C-alpha cells in the first residue's frame, strides 16, 4: 500500500494514501468531532459537516469534511483554527435548533460554547425526534446488513429515514444495526417479553437455550441461514454460551 506523509496540526504522519483524514487524525490522537461517519460503512459521511477542517494543498485552502477527504502527498490539515471553530459552531447551532432534545448534540454544542440557539427550534409539530437526517442508518442497513429496509425520504428539512410508506417493512430483519449506528439515538428499538419492536414491526426473539435470554430476532436467524447456509442450531445459544 502506497504511503504518503501528511501534516496535521503541524505534526507529520505517515499514512496510507487515500485513507480519510478523520481516521488518520484519530489514530494519532487528534480529535475531530464526527456524527454521520462510520468506518465500516462505505457511503457514510459528508452529511453532518461537524468534521470540517482546513485542507491546504497546492497553495489553496478549502474547508473539507475530514471523514471523506483522502490523504494525499503534500496535504496539510488544520483542525483547530478560528475558521474551523466558527463553522463548526454554526453547524452545531443549527443541529441544536433541529434536535434540542438530543443529549449528544447538546454536549457537542456545549463543548463549542453553545448553550442556547438564536434561531427557531424544531419543536411541536416540527419535532424531529433527535434525527439529524445523517443517513447513517440507511447506509448501514444497505451496505453492512445488506438489507434495504429503510431509505431517506422527503427533501430539505423534512428529510428522514423511513420504511416504504411508513408501513412495517417486509424485508426488515429486526437486527437493530441501524439503531446501534445512529449517532443521536433517534431510532426507537424496544424489547419486552421476548418481542422486539423496531420500525413499526414486532420481531419474535430467539432465546438462548442456556441462559434463556432473548438475543436475536427469528427473522434475522432466518435471513442468515438463507444467505449463508449456516446451520440453524448454531443460533440455539447466545454468543456468551457458544
Q: Which residues bind ligand FES (CB under 6 A)?
A: 34-37, 45-51, 65, 67
- DSSP secondary structure letter of residue 172: -
User: By three-state DSSP, how is residue 131 classified?
Assistant: coil
Decide if residue 216 touches another protein (CB under 8 A).
no
Decide which of another protein, ligand SF4, ligand FES, none touches 15; Cβ closer than 5 to 8 Å per partner kind: none
* Exposed/middle/buried for residue 120 (C-beta within 10 Å: 0-12, 13-18, 19+): exposed
Stretch that binds ligand SF4, among 5-13, 83-91, 144-152, 226-234 (CB under 6 A): 144-152
On the CB side of 78, how many CA atoms lie within 13 Å of its CA?
13
Decide if residue 21 touches ligand SF4 (CB under 6 A).
no
The 11-50 contact track toward another protein, x by CB under 8 A, reads ----------------------------------xxxxxx
Decide which of ligand FES, another protein, ligand SF4, none touches 37; Cβ closer than 5 to 8 Å per partner kind: ligand FES
* SS3 readout for 46-58: CCCCCCEEEEEEC
Strand partners, 60: 57
Q: Which three cell numbers stand for residue 48?
A: 453532518
3-state SS of the chain: helix, strand, coil percent to 5? 30, 20, 45
**What minimum distance in Å lies between the beta carbon of 190 and another protein?**
28
**What minimum distance in Å lies between the beta carbon of 5 and another protein?**
19
Q: Who's near 128: CB < 8 A, 6+ residues apart?
A: 98, 99, 122, 160
In degrees and rounded to multiples of 5, residue 138 shows phi and psi of -70, -35
Footprint of ligand SF4 (CB under 6 A): 131-137, 140-141, 145, 147, 149-150, 161, 172-178, 182, 184, 186-187, 198-199
Footprint of another protein (CB under 8 A): 45-50, 52, 63-65, 68-70, 83, 86-87, 90-91, 94-95, 97-98, 118-120, 132-133, 135, 152, 154-159
Amino acid at each position: 500500500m502506497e504511503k504518503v506523509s501528511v501534516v496535521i496540526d503541524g505534526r507529520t504522519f505517515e499514512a496510507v494514501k487515500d485513507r480519510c483524514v478523520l481516521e488518520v487524525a484519530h489514530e494519532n490522537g487528534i480529535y475531530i468531532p464526527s456524527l454521520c461517519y462510520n468506518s465500516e460503512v462505505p457511503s457514510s459521511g459528508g452529511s453532518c459537516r461537524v468534521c470540517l477542517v482546513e485542507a491546504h494543498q497546492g497553495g489553496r485552502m478549502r474547508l473539507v469534511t475530514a471523514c471523506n477527504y483522502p490523504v494525499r502527498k503534500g496535504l496539510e490539515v488544520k483542525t483547530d483554527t478560528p475558521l474551523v471553530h466558527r463553522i463548526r459552531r454554526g453547524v452545531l447551532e443549527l443541529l441544536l435548533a433541529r434536535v434540542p432534545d438530543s443529549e449528544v448534540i447538546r454536549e457537542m454544542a456545549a463543548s463549542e460554547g453553545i448553550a442556547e440557539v438564536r434561531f427557531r427550534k424544531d419543536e411541536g409539530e416540527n419535532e424531529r425526534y433527535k434525527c439529524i437526517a445523517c443517513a447513517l442508518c440507511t447506509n448501514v442497513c444497505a451496505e453492512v446488513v445488506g438489507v434495504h429496509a429503510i431509505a431517506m425520504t422527503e427533501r430539505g428539512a423534512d428529510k428522514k429515514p423511513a420504511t416504504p410508506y411508513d408501513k412495517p417493512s417486509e424485508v426488515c430483519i429486526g437486527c437493530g444495526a441501524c439503531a446501534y449506528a445512529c449517532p443521536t439515538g433517534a431510532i426507537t428499538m424496544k424489547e419486552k417479553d421476548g418481542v422486539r419492536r423496531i420500525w413499526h414491526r414486532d420481531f419474535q426473539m430467539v432465546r438462548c437455550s442456556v441462559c434463556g435470554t432473548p438475543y436475536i430476532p427469528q427473522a434475522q436467524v432466518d435471513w442468515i441461514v438463507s444467505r449463508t447456509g449456516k446451520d440453524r442450531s448454531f443460533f440455539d445459544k447466545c454468543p456468551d454460551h457458544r
